[in-house]
Amino acid sequence: MPPELPKAKIAERIFLTNDLIIIKIKPEIPFTFKHGQYCTIGLEGVERPYSIVSSPHEESLELFLELVPEGELTPKLWQVKVGDVLSIRPSAKGVFTFDDKYPNQFMVATVTGIAPFISMIRNYLYRGLDSHTFYVLHGASYQDEFAYKDELEKLSREHENIIYIPTVSRPEEERNKGWQGEKLRVNLIVEKYLKKFSLDPKSTLVYACGHPGMIEDVKQRLVSKGYKVKEEKFWRE
**Does residue 217 carry a pLDDT above 60?**
yes
pLDDT tens for each residue of 137-177: 999 999 999 999 999 999 999 999 999 999 999 999 999 99
Q: What domains, with CATH codes, occur in the chain? A: 7-88 (2.40.30.10), 104-233 (3.40.50.80)
- Cα separation values, 91 from 73, 75, 88, 97, 207, Å: 20, 24, 8, 15, 23
Tell me what the mean pLDDT of segment 78-106 comes to: 97
Residues 105 and 38: beta-carbon distance below 8 Å? no
The one-character DSSP state at 198 is T
Per-residue pLDDT, averaged over 34-44, amounts to 97
Identify whether the C-beta of residue 100 lies closer than 8 Å to the C-beta of residue 205: no
The conformational region for residue 220 under phi > 0 = left, psi -120 to 50 = alpha, else beta, is alpha
- Express as a percent the part of the chain with pLDDT over 70: 97
For CA atoms 58, 59, 65, 71, the dihedral sign is: positive
- Name the H helices within 91-182: 115-126, 149-158
Distance of CA 21 to the CA centre of its chain: 13
- Residues 44-51, mean pLDDT to the nearest whole number: 96
Which of 138, 117, 120 is CA-nearest to residue 129? Answer: 120
| Residue 1 pLDDT > 50 | no
pTM: 0.96
Strands 38-43 and 85-88: antiparallel
pLDDT at 79: 95
Q: What is the pLDDT of residues 120-140, one digit of tens each?
A: 999 999 999 999 999 999 999
Closest listed residue to residue 23, CA positions, set 92, 103, 84: 84
- Sign of the torsion angle spanned by Cα atoms 206, 234, 64, 68: positive
